[in-house]
Amino acid sequence: MKSSLPFILLPFALGFTALAEENPPQPNVLFIAVDDLNDWIGCMKGHPQARTPNIDRLAERGMLFTNAHCAAPVCLASRTALFSGRYPDQTGVFSNWGKTKGKAPAKSWQMPLHFAASGYETLGAGKLYHSASPQFFDDYYDTENRWSPFTQEQARYIDAELPTKSSAKPRHLIQNGPGGRDWILPLNGLPSERNPDSNEGESFDWGPVDVADEEMGDTRVTQWATKKIEEKRAKPFFLGVGYYRPHIPLFAPQQDFDSLPPVEAIQLPASIPDDLDDIGEAGRKFALDPITAGTHKLVTDHDQWQEAVRAYLACITYVDRQIGSLVTALNASPHADNTWIILFSDHGWQLGEKQHWGKWTGWRASTRLPLIIVPPASFQAARGKVCAEAVSLMDLYPTLIEVCNLAEKKGVAGQSLVPLMKNPALETGRGVITAFDPGNHALSTRDWRYLRYHSGEEELYDIQADPHEWHNLAQDTAHQARLGELRTQLEEELKNIR
């Protein structure tokens, strides 16, 4: 992008030459996607009670990017952009439904197909694309199930139960369900705000499920992927492993709840009561709309905030255990020394910050995500390092093209992260873009965040002084010069991708 070319061309050239010498021609790739995971992992210190020893060990082995952002803070739009190398402003895909100006990018753009055309065997399981996409993989096992350990059919209300769904005492009975016992949903007892007239199960739910790990969909994904790692292969592989948790409903095995402090000792995310007072009408609408989860008022009126936070942490603990099993299998395999491990989330998630639950906003808690890259044994520069430069999930496609020696793919957006893996202190001056619905954009730089809504409303935050984005400086006379700079930078970046 224009703003970063003076800083990055020379390191890019040097990084490519060094990497070509250090790595075998075609290393393997283990591509781990975790759904709706924010910075609540130990190595990012997003929540003091997070238990993620396996993810933390990956960060110690590779490079942790602490300022990584999605192209769009919602599943379909983020994953479409990531796998196609095209921004929402290029494809028109901004959401999971509606608010979409275009159609999905052509197959020819898809990352797995580019790997396949370069001699790779492409394998995938779980939630990688937003829905099952077997045409992009040689061998695809889809156990994606948002209701796990319940099936989607089990979670459906029968007609006789439907009137209770939005009442003070919702009640859906599952007879002889997981573990051979009867269950009453929702586990948290909250009425439905989003789908009160639909028989669909209510996903804004949380609680422990006393079942064996094998009844959880993400565990089955791990078991499948482990077998694939253990198999002998004639070709290098691209193995995508998509974990659904901690996506709602926040169901996790009882043991993962038991590993956390009791509910009364759970710490709530940092927030202030008047956080929405200095933002415009468009921003407040994004904050208070229950479209992606539920409302803050519903949670607090039912005294469930700590319960929900504990459930989210338990889901993270559970998925961390799955990642530990997966990486253990890789470490014991013949592929251990010649595999790039990429671990990322598709976007963040808010649990009451700015009175919002879910994603789909332009604030940092929704756009920022964990990104860890662990190189093969021959590439030592990135080990145990942390990079605070602004980067994007869009950078993964060009990075993998470079490190795996794939053919060039003209038109793929983003920038290779190799220069930053060589030198994490490199200052690029870059700003990365996140689109949240058409006409709404956030620009993230190393130190600042700028939000502009379709209405023209603006927000400006000094991330170093105000990491929670509590103080909107857009109207502050002392920051008008900075505001103007970021306006110009956003326009330049948008021109580059349109």
Q: What is the pLDDT of residues 403-461, one digit of tens each?
A: 999 999 999 999 999 999 999 999 999 999 999 999 999 999 999 999 999 999 999 99
Q: Which domains does the chain have, with CATH numbers?
A: 2-146+203-497 (3.40.720.10)
Q: Average pLDDT for residues 313-320, to the nearest whole number?
A: 98
User: What is the SS3 assignment for 460?
Assistant: strand
- Inform me whether the pLDDT recorded for 7 exceeds 60: no
Nearest to 64 by CA among 329, 385, 306, 335: 385
Give dist(CA 46, CA 60) in Å, integer: 17
In order of 95, 373, 420, the CA distances from 125 in angstroms are: 23, 20, 30
Least confident of 100-109, 116-125, 275-284: 100-109
Angle at 323 (CA atoms; ends 248, 80), nearest 5 degrees: 55
Instruction: Return mean pLDDT, the chain.
Output: 91
Q: Is 208 helix (H, G, I), strand (E, B) or coil?
A: strand
Give the range among 13-17, 86-90, 300-304 with minimum mean pLDDT. 13-17
pTM for this predicted structure: 0.93
Does pLDDT of 135 surpass 80? Answer: no
Which of 112, 166, 168 minimizes the C-alpha distance to 140?
112
Strand partners, 391: 68
Residue 347: exposure state from Cβ atoms within 10 A (0-12, 13-18, ≥19): buried
210 vs 366: CA distance, rounded Å: 30
* Cα distances (angstroms) measured from residue 443 to each of 3, 106, 386, 410: 13, 27, 21, 24
Q: Pull the structure tokens for residue 16.
A: 């490519």
Whole-number percent of the chain with pLDDT over 70: 91
- Are 319 and 6 in contact by the 8 Å Cβ rule? The answer is no
Percentage of the chain exceeding pLDDT 90: 84
Nearest to 348 by CA among 54, 70, 56: 70
Contact 221, 123 (CB under 8 A): no
pLDDT of residue 383: 87
> Which region among 18-27, 119-128, 176-185, 414-423 has the lowest average model confidence (pLDDT)?
18-27
Q: How far is CA 109 from CA 72, 116, 246, in A?
A: 18, 12, 29
Burial of 291 (0-12, 13-18, 19+ CB in 10 A): middle
Quick one: pLDDT at residue 102?
56
pLDDT at residue 9 greater than cutoff 80:
no
For 25, phi and psi rounded to 5 degrees? -55, -45
Chain centre to alpha carbon of residue 77: 11
DSSP secondary structure string for all residues of 270-300? P--TTTTTTS-HHHHHHHH--TTS--HHHHH
Instruction: Identify the DSSP state of 253.
Output: E
Say if strands 172-174 and 183-185 run parallel, antiparallel, or are unpaired.
Answer: antiparallel
